[in-house]
């Protein structure tokens, strides 16, 4: 009888309902900085079968992926992808923002030191990020056994995706000519980092971010991390967060069309193909989950648009501030720099000046709004504290509210007309930028590939904040602690 009961118990354990939850050995997050959604298809005929086209032909694409906040910039994008949250909650309000009364860079941390160089480039950490990320949740779920590594040329693109509990984040120090980190993570570089640095280092001062070479070096570092940290080598799922920064730097300088843009995406395609082969060889095809997305899109150069008879131009917003400060000062009997700072549409007013003038903040805000809305190419200027009751279209209002962190975002946010970004308005200007709610800045790719991914696509509305909960659901772990997105399924 005992033998029969033992057999029955063993059989029950083997039933599908009792099977242990399966997880991939490795999650690879690939963020392509300033990759518009349409780049998946604009260069499609030139992509390799084993590169980006492989992700399209074998992966699952969420074609209607939008960013649901403003401003649409790098630090926020990387934070929102991995936290599933918005600036209002994760606290990264821009690449630089006001904190404790002064402007700070998003990853600035004066309590840490550079590791791998003697410059200030390593005085960085994730401490300004107020939310947990995918990697943090993996650490919690595995009781610290999962490994989490971030790699990028930009510090913020390595640090913010890796999160608070990362085993390491590595970024490029131009002054040193190689990858570094900070004492937030470790006291000295691992030997595998020294080896790859010896192999790919450049002359100090060489800016690889604005070159195709920067894409190559990013993937060389990612591959070195894969082997150096033995990622995907045990029963605990690891995370390798990789961000490609050169696509952004080159597009800023040369625009969203032309030889420079073409060449950087061809190199991205080659490197993706090579890296997938490395993952297949090292971790095993089907054993890793890869997702590709972007932190934001980017506008076409306004001179290119005008050549196609499209209304467009450069705002050159800072040139308007002297006129606005003077007009507001005359109206309210004030003198001085009333608009103190501007960053990606966020306007910070001079609170000390306002307090000493005897005027209320509300009075000054309204006066600035009135003057700025007289500008031809500004549609709205919104008082953050009254955004919900301002007469602007609901989709834009929601994005402004989502992007507003009361302690960091400033006082006002301006919305220009479509086709106008805050760049030079000169007729020979070639570059571009991003920050707005419009589809060219907010429509980004989101592709899943590999472990338990079926081929297909959907046009259902999806948001950047849905990425983290989708990945966490696939891993059967809790979503990040400030997540506002929803897990999406492959239909």
Alpha-carbon 328 to chain mean position: 36
Question: Is 74 considered catalytic here?
Answer: yes
Instruction: Identify the sign of the CA torsion 458, 85, 253, 217.
Output: negative
User: Which of these, 294, 250, 244, lies nearest to 272 by C-alpha position?
Assistant: 244
Cα separation, 163 vs 131, whole angstroms: 9
Catalytic residue among 10, 21, 72, 74: 74
DSSP letter string, 253-267: HH-SSSHHHHHHHHH
Burial 317-339 (b: 16+ CB within 10 A, else e): beebbeebbebbbeebebeeebb
Measure Cα distances from 334 to 109, 219, 341 in Å.
36, 54, 18
What are residue 238's DSSP bridge partners?
Answer: 26
Cα separation, 336 vs 139, whole angstroms: 50
Cα separation, 105 vs 457, whole angstroms: 38
User: Which of these, 387, 450, 378, lies nearest to 414 by C-alpha position?
Assistant: 378
What are residue 124's DSSP bridge partners?
Answer: 108
- Extended beta strands in 71-219, E state: 96-99, 102-105, 114-115, 148-152, 168-173, 178-182
What are residue 420's DSSP bridge partners?
Answer: 313
- How many C-beta atoms surround the C-beta of residue 307 within 10 A? 10
Under 8 Å between Cβ of 420 and 314: yes
- How many C-beta atoms surround the C-beta of residue 109 within 10 A? 19
Under 8 Å between Cβ of 44 and 38: no
- For the annotated catalytic residues, the residue numbers are 74
């Amino acid at each position: 009888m005992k033998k029969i009961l033992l057999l029955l118990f063993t059989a029950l354990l083997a039933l599908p309902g009792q099977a242990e939850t399966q997880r991939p050995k490795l999650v690879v997050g690939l963020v392509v900085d300033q990759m518009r959604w349409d780049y998946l298809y604009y260069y499609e005929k030139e992509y390799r079968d084993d590169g980006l086209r492989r992700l399209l032909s074998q992966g699952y694409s969420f074609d209607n992926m939008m960013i649901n906040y403003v401003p649409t910039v790098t630090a926020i994008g990387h934070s929102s992808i991995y936290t599933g949250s918005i600036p209002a909650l994760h606290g990264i309000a821009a690449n630089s923002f006001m904190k404790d009364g002064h402007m700070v860079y998003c990853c600035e941390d004066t309590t840490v030191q550079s590791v791998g160089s003697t410059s200030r480039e390593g005085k960085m950490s994730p401490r300004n990020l107020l939310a947990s990320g995918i990697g943090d949740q993996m650490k919690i779920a595995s009781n610290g056994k999962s490994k989490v590594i971030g790699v990028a040329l930009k510090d913020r693109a390595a640090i913010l995706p890796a999160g608070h509990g990362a085993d390491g984040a590595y970024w490029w120090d131009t002054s040193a000519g190689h990858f570094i980190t900070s004492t937030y993570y470790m006291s000295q570089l691992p030997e595998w980092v020294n080896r790859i640095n010896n192999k790919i280092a450049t002359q100090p001062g060489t800016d690889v971010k604005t070159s195709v070479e920067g894409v190559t070096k990013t993937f060389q570092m990612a591959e070195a991390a894969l082997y150096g940290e033995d990622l995907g080598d045990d029963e605990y799922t690891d995370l390798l967060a990789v961000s490609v920064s050169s696509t952004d730097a080159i597009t800023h300088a040369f625009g969203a069309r032309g030889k420079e843009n073409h060449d950087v995406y061809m190199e991205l395609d080659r490197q993706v193909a090579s890296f997938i082969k490395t993952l297949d060889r090292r971790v095993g095809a089907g054993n890793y989950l890869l997702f590709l997305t972007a932190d934001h899109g980017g506008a076409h150069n306004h001179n290119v648009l005008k050549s196609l008879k499209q209304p467009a131009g450069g705002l050159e917003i800072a040139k308007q501030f002297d006129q606005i400060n003077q007009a507001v000062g005359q109206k309210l009997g004030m003198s001085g720099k009333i608009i103190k700072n501007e960053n990606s549409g966020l306007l910070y007013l001079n609170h000390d000046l306002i307090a000493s003038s005897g005027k209320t903040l509300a009075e000054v805000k309204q006066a600035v709004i009135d003057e700025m809305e007289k500008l031809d190419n500004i549609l709205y200027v919104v008082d953050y504290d009254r955004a919900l009751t301002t007469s602007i279209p609901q989709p834009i209002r929601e994005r402004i509210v989502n992007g507003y962190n009361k302690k960091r975002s400033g006082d006002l946010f301006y919305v220009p007309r479509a086709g106008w970004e805050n760049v030079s308005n000169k007729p020979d200007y070639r570059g571009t930028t991003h920050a707005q709610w419009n589809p060219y800045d907010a429509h980004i790719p989101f592709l899943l590939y590999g472990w338990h991914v079926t081929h297909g696509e959907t046009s259902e509305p999806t948001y950047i904040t849905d990425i983290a909960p989708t990945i966490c659901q696939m891993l059967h772990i809790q979503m990040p602690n400030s997540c506002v997105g929803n897990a999406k399924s492959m239909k």
